[in-house]
Amino acid sequence: MTTAAQPLSGRLAGTAAARAEPCARFFAAQAPALAELCHAMAERFLRGGRLLACGTTAADRSDVRHVAVEFVHPVIVGKRALPALGLEAAEVALLTGPEDIVMRFDDGTLTVELGERRWTLAPHSGDRFVDQELIEQSYHVLWELVHVFFEHRGLLGGRRQERLHDSGASSFLYPFLAQTEDDLPGVLADVRASVLTKAAETTELRAATLAGSADAIAAATATLRTALDAGGTLLALGNGGSATDAQDVVADLRHPPPPAAPRRALDLAEDPAILTAIANDVGHEAVFARQVIAHARPGDVVLGISTSGGSANVLSALAEARRRRLPTIALVGYDGGRVLAEGLADHVVVSPSEHIPRIQEAQATVLHLLVAAVLAPGAAEQR
């Protein structure tokens, strides 16, 4: 049995196991609805609809940004860019068209509206961080599997019927694509099965990440807690979905649930004017390093998030932090990339996978563990 006084490195295996059960239960219950929703969303997209996302809390708005970037900038080669926007809640009614899809994030609940039709995903696990992770997995699954129905246009309302489909280059991802186009129940069944497979893959990678990087996570937590207790600031950064993870960890630190006190944190991917000015006038590689120069003070900590471990602007920011003798934490995927190979951060947490959505889901758990440990009463004594 683990205790509150046990070091963090000794509690991580239990953390992975504790997340496995609610993940399996949630997706077993929601797989049919998610499959139907993928089909309905594909019909809307092919009729010119857009995805409009909005959120209630600061943490919700990181999911809004994450949804938009994943749909517009697909990371699976060959998949189409889909129109998606992140909006303020008050703007949605003004900008929603008849074929648009509205996705609302509300403190642990995700609601998707297609006209009068509505799907509500509410994990209710009892842990706000676990709920957010399950919601993130849900919209990743929606993004990944909506593309299945683009390969089966004969099953989409109002589209030209094609009796057969050659799955071609997509077959290695979705081997069930090559089948008759009048078998909607069969495709839905395969999509439901894929939902469960992806949930199991996330659970496996989460466990591998926490086991393989237990010491790094424990050391990163101690470093971050020491810095924030002394009045330092966390500077978080990343690109694309990793930028939204940076936004999320900053939101969690700035807006913790009572009675935890807010902690100092900056999101270096937050300001598009700064990002575009530096990228345009200096180069994209400098967009974060320049901000480290501007904002970092002695006692601060820099957190870089990169699924590849080789993003040039993340590497430059970590190098700049090192020049300033600031502690550095990096969350990376694949085999750790250059960050791990070249020892570019003090604490490196590796999620050993090449599948970007699964990497991001495992990294979300690590970030939530860091935040929870930093905010917890008596956390300083648990190091």
Domains 8-206 and 213-382 share a fold: yes
Q: Which fold has domain 8-206?
A: Rossmann fold (3.40.50)
Residues contacting residue 286 through CB under 8 Å, at least 6 positions apart:
278, 279, 313, 316
Is residue 142 a contact partner of residue 38, using CB atoms and an 8 Å limit? yes
Give the mean pLDDT of 176-181: 50
Percent of the chain with pLDDT over 70: 89
pLDDT over threshold 90, residue 301: yes
Judged by average pLDDT, the poorest of 139-153, 186-200, 332-346 is 139-153
- 3-state SS class at 236: strand
* 198's tokens: 């992806």
Q: Give the per-residue pLDDT at 150.
A: 83
Q: Give the per-residue pLDDT at 138.
A: 97
Confidence (pTM)? 0.89
Confidence at 111, pLDDT banded by 50, 70, 90: very high
- Which residue in 68, 50, 70, 167 sits closest to 113, CA to CA? 50
Give the mean pLDDT of 111-137: 95
At 108, the amino acid letter reads: G
Instruction: Quote the CA–CA distance of 82 and 270 in Å, as a whole number.
Output: 23
Confidence at 162, pLDDT banded by 50, 70, 90: very low
Q: Give the per-residue pLDDT at 16.
A: 85
Instruction: Quote the CA–CA distance of 111 and 105 in Å, as a whole number.
Output: 7
Confidence at 378, pLDDT banded by 50, 70, 90: low
Instruction: Quote the CA–CA distance of 234 and 224 in Å, as a whole number.
Output: 8
Phi-psi category of residue 334: left, alpha or beta, with phi > 0 → left and psi -120 to 50 → alpha: left
What are the boundaries of each domain within the chain?
8-206, 213-382
The string of pLDDT tens digits covering residues 240-285 is: 999 999 999 999 999 998 899 999 999 999 999 999 999 999 999 9
Question: How many other C-beta atoms are found inside a 10 Å radius of the C-beta of residue 215?
Answer: 13
pLDDT over threshold 50, residue 178: no
Sheet of strand 51-55, all strands in order from the earlier edge strand to the far edge: 84-87, 51-55, 101-105, 110-114, 117-121
- In 74-135, DSSP assigns E strands to 84-87, 101-105, 110-114, 117-121
Give the mean pLDDT of 43-55: 95
pLDDT over threshold 50, residue 332: yes
Q: Which fold has domain 213-382?
A: Rossmann fold (3.40.50)
